Amino acid sequence: MSGLSGRQTGAVRLMLMLAVGFVFILPLLWMVATSVKPEDQAMGAGLSLLPDPPSQVFGMAERNYRSVLTDTTVDFPLFFRNTLIIVLLGVIGAVVSSVVVAYGLARVPMRGRRALVVLTVGTMLIPFPVIMAPLFMLYSELGWIGTTLPLYAQFFFGNAFSIFLLYQFFRTLPSELDEAAQLDGCSTFQTFWHITLPMSKTAIAVVALLHFTYMWNDFLSPLVFLVKRDQWTVALGLQLYQSRAGQTPWSLLMAASVITVLPVLIVFVLTNRIFSRGVAEGAVKG
Amino acid sequence: MATVLRENAGWLWVMPWIVGLLVFFVTPLGMSFFYSLTDYNMLEAPLNVGAKNYAEILRDEVFWKAVRNTLIYAGISIPLTAAVSMAIAGLLDVDSRLSGIVRLCVFTPTVVPLVAAAMIWLWLFNSDAGLINALLGLVGIDGPNWLQAQGWAMSALIVMNLWSIGQAVVIYLGALQNVPQALYEAAALDGMGPVRRFVHVSLPGMAHAVVFNSIIQTITAWQVFATPYIMTEGGPDRSTYFYSHYLYDNAFLFQRMGYASALGWVQIVLIGLCALVPWMISRRLWSTR
């Protein structure tokens, strides 16, 4: 026999859930709170989420964020633009090439398909640190060091994770579709273009969004390959706020962190909606 | 001839990826093996030295220190995250709006860029003005200088890692969804309370997912880099100096490309060996049942 009644365990579970949710969201709350405080109050170790007096909040927010966005010694907007361009090119490259490769792998006849799928999954298990040194040498042979090419060029030849996800998705489509299209005189490419692609919008969106987050969050490749400061991404630029002249300006560092986190967070919220819409559409179509 | 072509038309479609594999994986791996047998500083031509780098690694104290740190981190972090994320999954395995909101809260940190996460926790762990020591102060505990005190720095990284267990929680929740409701009802009829139901019904339902997660986490533990690099720079006294950080320093700080390449191959072997551990533990557990 359990010592608690059903209602009591329900209440305990409710309290625990609230506590867990709060603990996980607190670091982000605290980041935002620090970013809207004057520096001396941020360092004052107070537990308040708002500055004192609270009416200061908008003025301080404007001051801190404006300082991050206009400070020419750090030039955060430049890092933001760089990241956006690099990530956009990488996502376009990865999606276009991976869709084609995954379609070939999943739906077009070929011998040795299994071996190639295994090889593709195998590359995901090779840690990046193992190949980063030779990749650096390879890229400097190609004359790519000093440009942003090392961060996105390879994705135009496909990305293992995206290929694998799309491959699995394409495998689930009924083969009757292809056969019917081919009976109607469609070539393989026409089948791909007119039949498969329109049915795969959600899967493609998911792959694009996952690759976007992956690239936006990447730290090690920019650190290794971006040798010129004016080509840096936000992940690298954030470090410039760390202990400038001995004392880290925490309110500014947190404001810059908010700006770094915001794009992925927005995309994450949108993804949630696309995911649920995809699920709903699937349910309607049966 | 025409049928051979038709039966292999797929190869035309996968051509970009074949090129990508050759240029961005096979070539660097081949180069890495070649350079691991040389002394190479990127300025002069590589000098063939045979297996010298590998022999040196075995005598290298810093290498052993980095291996030890990585193993300590993985050894504590993996069971700890497994326990915590299974407990949270069990807690959230109900159909309610609140559960949905809390799931979102738990998952959100996993999309926060590592660098931003490192900055946030650098601030939370700050010894004078950080939130964690301020909260500890409320209950009369004088918190340590987390990131600069030996022993505490590694604990801080392990605690921080708990923040991003959202993916594991989602996987465990998925596994729980496949547990037949009838099992819970039978357990309740047997007079089991919620805790015992969790232990006897939910936990076995998540067993396969635990093995999968542990293998993935073992692989990622050997690649931990950004967080200690930003938060502790491997210190104090190399107590948070991880394997990938040492490899990075050899390649790009000390310009020892040959030695770094050898470290990379040793890393592949070590990851392979370590990934076997969760698998073997699971085999042992299942065979005794």
- pLDDT per position as a tens digit, A26-85: 999 999 988 888 877 777 767 777 777 777 778 877 888 888 888 877 888 899 999 999
| Residue A284 or residue A24, greater confidence | A24
Answer positive or negative: Cα dihedral of B83, B84, B85, B87: positive
What whole-number distance in Å separates Cα of residue B147 and Cα of residue B121? 10
Chain A residues near residue B99 by CB distance under 8 angstroms:
17
DSSP result, A21-88: HHHHHHHHHHHHHHHTS-HHHHTTT---SS-SSGGGHHHHHHHHHHHHHH-TTT-HHHHHHHHHHHHH
> How many residues does the structure list for chain B?
289
Statement: residue A4 has pLDDT above 60: no
A144 Cβ under 8 Å from any chain B Cβ: no
My answer on whether omega of the bond before A27 falls inside 30° of 0, hence cis, is: no
What whole-number distance in Å separates Cα of residue B238 and Cα of residue B235? 4
Question: What percentage of chain A carries pLDDT values higher than 70?
Answer: 91
Beta bridge partners of A241: none
pLDDT at A274: 65
Q: Which residue of B has its CA nearest to A138?
A: B28
Token pair listed for B5:
């072509």
Statement: residue A279 has pLDDT above 60: no
Average pLDDT value for residue range B92-120: 89
For residue A159, give the amino acid letter.
N
A254 Cβ under 8 Å from any chain B Cβ: yes
Interfacial B residues in 44-63 facing A (CB < 8 Å): none
**A27 with B163: Cβ contact below 8 A:** yes
Least confident of A150-154, B185-189, B277-281: B277-281
Torsion of CA B239, B241, B243, B244, to 10 degrees: 160
Statement: residue B49 has pLDDT above 50: yes
Average pLDDT value for residue range A4-21: 84
Closest listed residue to residue B107, CA positions, set B195, B200, B170: B170
pLDDT at B28: 93
Please give the ipTM for the structure prediction. Answer: 0.86
Closest approach of chain A CAs to the CA of B54, in angstroms?
A: 15
Chain B residues near residue A27 by CB distance under 8 angstroms:
109, 120-121, 124, 163
A231 Cβ under 8 Å from any chain B Cβ: no
* Cβ atoms A57, A35 nearer than 8 A: no
Token pair listed for B52:
């010298």
Interfacial B residues in 80-119 facing A (CB < 8 Å): 88, 91-92, 94, 98-99, 101-102, 104-106, 108-109, 111-116, 119
DSSP-derived 3-state class of residue B129:
coil
CA B108 to chain centre: 18
Interfacial A residues in 38-67 facing B (CB < 8 Å): 42-47
What whole-number distance in Å separates Cα of residue A120 and Cα of residue A12? 47
Average pLDDT value for residue range B178-203: 86
**A264 with B23: Cβ contact below 8 A:** no
Q: Which residue of A has its CA nearest to B260?
A: A133
Chain B residues near residue A134 by CB distance under 8 angstroms:
27-29, 31-32, 35, 261
Interfacial B residues in 62-81 facing A (CB < 8 Å): none
pLDDT at A278: 47
Interfacial B residues in 118-147 facing A (CB < 8 Å): 119-124, 126, 128-131, 133-135, 138
Residue B41 backbone phi and psi in degrees, to 5: -115, 15
Q: How many CB atoms lie within 10 A of CB B143?
A: 16
What whole-number distance in Å separates Cα of residue B222 and Cα of residue B113? 19
**CA contacts within 13 A on the Cβ side of A77:** 8
DSSP result, chain A: --SS-HHHHHHHHHHHHHHHHHHHHHHHHHHHHHHTS-HHHHTTT---SS-SSGGGHHHHHHHHHHHHHH-TTT-HHHHHHHHHHHHHHHHHHHHHHHHHHHHHHHHS--TTHHHHHHHHHHHHHS-HHHHHHHHHHHHHHHT-BTBSHHHHGGGGG--HHHHHHHHHHHHHS-HHHHHHHHHTT--HHHIIIIIIHHHTHHHHHHHHHHHHHHHHH--HHHHHH--SGGG--HHHHGGGGTTGGGS--HHHHHHHHHHHHHHHHHHHHHHHHHHHHHHHHHHHH-
Closest approach of chain A CAs to the CA of B77, in angstroms?
A: 18
Q: How many CB atoms lie within 10 A of CB A201?
A: 12
Statement: residue B41 has pLDDT above 90: no
**Which candidate in B22, B63, B91, B112 is best for mutational testing of the A interface (most A CBs within 10 A)?**
B112
Closest listed residue to residue B62, CA positions, set B243, B189, B183, B190: B243
Closest approach of chain A CAs to the CA of B21, in angstroms?
A: 8
pLDDT at A5: 64
What whole-number distance in Å separates Cα of residue B248 and Cα of residue B228? 13
**Which candidate in A20, A196, A262 is best for mutational testing of the B interface (most B CBs within 10 A)?**
A20
* Cβ atoms A264, A217 nearer than 8 A: yes
pLDDT at A281: 46
pLDDT at A142: 92
pLDDT at A126: 86
Grade residue B4 by pLDDT with cuts at 50, 70 and 90. Answer: confident
Q: What is the mean pLDDT of chain A?
A: 85
pLDDT at B1: 62
Closest approach of chain B CAs to the CA of A43, in angstroms?
A: 5
Q: How many CB atoms lie within 10 A of CB A24?
A: 23
